[in-house]
Amino acid sequence: MTEVVSSILGPLLQKLASSAVEEIQLVWGVKDDLEKLKSMLEMIQKVLADAEQKQTKQEAVRLWLSKLKDFATMPRMLEFYFILTIEDVLDEFETNALCGRVRRTEHLTLKRKVRYLYSFKIAHKMKELGKRLDRINEEKIKFNLSSDIHEKAIVPRRKTYSFVRTSNIIGRDEEKERIIELLKRSDDGGAGIIAVLPIIGMGGTRKTTLAKLIYNDERVKEHFEHKVWLSMPLEFEIEKTMRDIIKCLNNEAKFDNWTLEMLQNDLRSRVENKRCLFVMDDVWQVRREEWEQLPYLLGGVSKGSKIIVTLRNKFITSIMGTRYPFDLANLSREDSLTLFVNCAFDQGKERNHPDLMVIGKEIVRKCGGNPLAMKTLGSLLYSKHNQKSDWEFVRDSEIWQLDTGILPSLRISYDLMPSYLKQCFAYCSIFPKNHEFSNFDLIQFWISNGFIRPRRKNQELEEIGRQYLKELFSRSFFDVVAERYPVVIFKMHDLIHELAISVAQTESCNMTKERTQDISPSTRHISIFNTFDVPKDELPGCLSKLSRVRTVMSEKLGSSEEFFLETCIERFKHMRVLVLHESTFDLLPSSIGTLKHLRNLHLCYSPNLKKLPKSVCKLRNLQCLVLSGCTELEELPANIKNMINLRFLSATTKQQRFSESGIGCLTSLRWLFIADCMNLETLFDDIQSLKSLRVLAIANCPKLASLPQGIKNLQALEHLWIGYSERLRLPEGESNEPRSTSRLQSFRFEGLPELVSLPRWLEGSASTLQKIKIAGCPNLRMAFAVLPQFISRIRAVMKKKAPFLASKIATKYLSNAHVVSAPEILGLIGRSIEEEDYCE
């Protein structure tokens, strides 16, 4: 992944200017060495954009970039000792500085003297690193690299634009009508015989979208008595398929302990003598013996029942015994151009750019009719209407001629991204195919690995992460699965996932895809998810190859879990992210405290976890601690206040109250989630000390009766969610209090029967609110009387843009405490607006 070298050097230069490094300079007199190192890195950084573009044609440049990257992030063996990388050295400095902040009142003890002695050794290694960099810097002269080449900048995604128009199946009307005609035919077998209609096509041909359009067609609804949509797992399993069908037919069905015979009897009773349509979306692997059981288990269905399957592999259709395999061809040139134009321009604006349309037609021709390619490149070139060179770059790129094994157009859209976006995108290769991830988790993973690059002083890392995520989404690299503002769940299309794996090269290894013996020694991010239980006898050989792993993700490791974790802690001392999802530990090993570089510890939904070792509070660098769903966790660590770098905390515990001088001392905290705490009766009174807190969520705490008064003084708070706590009352207060919340962008109050009125301190945020939701609060009255500015602002915009709706919505919604979305979020000016655009 040599394309992201520039995204590595930026943070290194920032660290070279940090106070921790300045302290080492003063103590050990290495200022000249560090200044020389910084100067050389700055000179190299100026020509990186040119080098990264030339590497596709010049092997020598690619090798030089690899050397530079190894210098920054990979160790080198010399006389049986690892020479630390510059990244590691600077990280050691920062870690020592954090420890000093915790012990700032102590005298210069022997322990501190030892720490400074170790810093001296690290500073000596800095001199050796300087010599290595000097040799790398001298090599660049022969490549004639220019400092006038600049990488592409982020293009902000338009606020009002979504890709709804492109989700329509352009050019598929004929295919849709033919399939519906086949579905309505009843001459393809008798009762109990189910015909299978496969929709076959390569990734990105919109097989799923076509199937959805057919599934929701009124003629199909009228023809079939039962319809079932199944999103298929990687490997077809008959028992799971049966359970999914029953669940779809009756969402309230309870069958966790049912035998296969019980499932079969129940399923037959539901479909007997009924004309049924089953859609099995995204079938990848099917064993003949499994598939052959299906007709018997669905026996008794009425004549004319059908199964639609979407898949890529034509071979599978022979197993299914299908009569009507339906190959989904690529789009015609005309339909391709229509889809591309819809993504690249606002409606009708293409007429203003005839020169770009000429180039666009050539780009469409090279896309070969693949809808995903058109959508991706069209989205990429949106807002570049004054940058003809970018359009020409896409058209003329030599990547079209390369046999990369992935869709060339997707590779181009990757190549056009800024280097810091490339690094963040490539990191997503660590997830398995079809994995769903939230914006919160992904941004924290990026932050923990140092991928977020601030552009100005005091800029919030989470804010930058959201900007990165929006840009990747606008380029069609991510699809939204679900949204509950401001939480968004994403996944990657299969082709995009293939692209991420391709560009990450050996940086990441997802062991659900690759066997352990295939891991490269240069792997830095590894994951093992629940579909693959690594045999214990394979682990030693696998992990012994690795030394500089930064991310470890695991889920349901089973018998290998304890050995795997102990080995990771012992070998990967510079680990940044450790995810143990649904682990079986009741107590983590105390050795976890030795991971002093750890930024992210993710232990969610570990049902046996009762205690965290005291050593976890030694993790001074820890920025994210996730303990949600740990229902047996007795309490948070007593010395959690020492985790002074913590930015994200999500907790589920059994304690009745949180201790004072605990969470309230975490002044770096940005996000605090407290959920499913069944015994919690009160929080902590020093909550107002969380001056950096942006998001506060409290949910499903049935015994929680009150919140601390200090909640109204959280000056930085932007999002407040409180829900499903039947005893909870909100603290009162006057709206004119000088420290009342004034930056709040959204609040959600749900399932709060004791909520009678909204607290007046919310009035301070009337000018900043963008979205509110109130639901399940039956005793709430005069909900909007306390937010006159908010109400008048919405009404004013609606009266100007949609006067009829303004009156209707004010009457129907504002008086009944439904969801109201502010105009900043909607941004639908100048378009035909439906009622749902204003109210959800």
pLDDT, tens digit (0-9, with 9 covering 90-100), for 393-443: 888 876 666 555 556 667 777 877 887 888 899 999 999 888 899 999 999
Give the CA distances from residue 144 to residues 51, 140, 147, 716, 767, in Å, rounded to whole numbers and listed in that order: 9, 7, 10, 49, 55
pLDDT digits over 508-521, tens only?
888 764 555 567 88
pLDDT digits over 230-280, tens only?
988 877 888 888 888 888 888 777 777 788 888 888 888 888 888 999 999
Q: How far apart are CA 312 and CA 205, in angstroms?
A: 10
Reduce the DSSP state of residue 746 to 3 states and report it: strand
Helix or strand run (H / E) with residue 230: strand 226-231
Q: What is the DSSP secondary-structure string of 233-279?
A: -SB--HHHHHHHHHHHH-TT---TT--HHHHHHHHHHHHTT--EEEE
**pLDDT for 162:** 26
Structure tokens at 563: 């050995």
**pLDDT for 316:** 81
DSSP character for 483?
Answer: E
Q: Which is more confident, 838 or 737?
A: 737
Q: What is the DSSP secondary-structure string of 66-93?
A: HHHHHHHH--EEETTEEEPPHHHHHHHH
Of 198, 172, 201, 200, nearest to 324 by C-alpha is 198
Structure tokens at 555: 């889920």
Q: How far apart are CA 704 and CA 720, in angstroms?
A: 16
Cα atoms found within 13 Å of the Cα of residue 530, Cβ hemisphere only: 10
Answer whether residue 729 shows pLDDT above 50.
yes
Q: What is the pTM of this model?
A: 0.72
Which of the four pLDDT bands, split at 50, 70 and 90, describes residue 803? very low
Give the CA distances from residue 568 to residues 95, 573, 588, 589, in Å, rounded to whole numbers and listed in that order: 20, 8, 13, 12
The total of other beta-carbon atoms located within 10 Å of residue 668's CB is 15
**pLDDT for 825:** 27
Q: What is the DSSP secondary-structure string of 148-176?
A: S--PPPP-PPPTT--SHHHHS-TT-HHHH
Across the chain, mean pLDDT equals 77
Of 578, 571, 554, nearest to 449 by C-alpha is 578
Burial of 651 (0-12, 13-18, 19+ CB in 10 A): buried
Pairing of strands 577-581, 771-775: unpaired
Q: How far apart are CA 435 and CA 216, in angstroms?
A: 26
Structure tokens at 721: 């969610």
Mean pLDDT in residue range 690-702: 94
- B/e letters for 717-746, b = 16+ CB within 10 Å, e = fewer, are bbbbbbbbbeebebeebeeeeeebbbebbb
**pLDDT for 649:** 96
Mean pLDDT in residue range 164-190: 72
Answer whether residue 116 shows pLDDT above 80.
no
Task: Give CA torsion, residues 816, 821, 826, 828, to 10 deg.
Answer: 20
Mean pLDDT in residue range 65-90: 54
Interior CA angle at 73 toward 69 and 76, to 5°?
A: 95
Structure tokens at 216: 């929701």
State whether the Cα torsion 418-424-429-435 is positive or negative.
Answer: negative
Q: How far apart are CA 682 and CA 680, in angstroms?
A: 6
Q: How far apart are CA 428 and CA 409, in angstroms?
A: 19
Which of the four pLDDT bands, split at 50, 70 and 90, describes residue 839? very low
**pLDDT for 445:** 96
Candidate ranges 93-97, 485-489, 557-561, 658-662; pick with highest mean pLDDT: 658-662
**pLDDT for 99:** 61
Strand partners, 524: none
Considering only 29-43, 430-444, 544-558, which range has the smallest mean pLDDT?
29-43
Structure tokens at 105: 């009142």
Q: How far apart are CA 65 and CA 51, in angstroms?
A: 8
**pLDDT for 298:** 81
CA gyration radius, the chain: 29
CA 532 distance to own-chain centroid = 22
Helices (H) and strands (E) in the chain, counts: 29, 23
Of 657, 733, 749, 739, nearest to 690 by C-alpha is 739
Length of the chain: 840
- Determine the residue type at 613: P
Q: Evaluate whether 328 touches 199 at the Cβ level (below 8 Å).
A: yes
Give the CA distances from residue 393 to residues 101, 396, 403, in Å, rounded to whole numbers and listed in that order: 50, 5, 19
Strand partners, 231: 281
| Percent over 70 (pLDDT), the chain | 73
Strands (E), 565-609: 577-581, 600-602
Q: Evaluate whether 197 touches 306 at the Cβ level (below 8 Å).
A: yes
Task: Give CA torsion, residues 667, 673, 676, 682, to 10 deg.
Answer: 40
CA 266 distance to own-chain centroid = 38
**pLDDT for 826:** 31
The answer to whether the bond into 486 is cis (omega within 30° of 0) is yes
Q: Determine the angle formed by the axes of helices 86-102 and 5-16, rounding to 10 degrees.
A: 40
Structure tokens at 681: 């009766």
Helix or strand run (H / E) with residue 283: strand 276-283
Answer whether residue 306 shows pLDDT above 80.
yes
The total of other beta-carbon atoms located within 10 Å of residue 587's CB is 11
Interior CA angle at 154 toward 152 and 159, to 5°?
A: 150
**pLDDT for 189:** 53
Q: Where are the alpha helices (DSSP H) in 272-387?
A: 288-291, 294-297, 315-320, 333-344, 354-367, 371-381
Q: Evaluate whether 837 touches 828 at the Cβ level (below 8 Å).
A: yes
Of 792, 546, 618, nearest to 601 by C-alpha is 618
Candidate ranges 142-156, 229-243, 503-517, 660-674; pick with highest mean pLDDT: 660-674
Reduce the DSSP state of residue 585 to 3 states and report it: coil
Q: Evaluate whether 777 touches 755 at the Cβ level (below 8 Å).
A: yes
Q: Evaluate whether 590 touches 617 at the Cβ level (below 8 Å).
A: no
Burial of 424 (0-12, 13-18, 19+ CB in 10 A): buried
CA 20 distance to own-chain centroid = 32
Strand partners, 657: 682
The total of other beta-carbon atoms located within 10 Å of residue 569's CB is 21
**pLDDT for 168:** 54
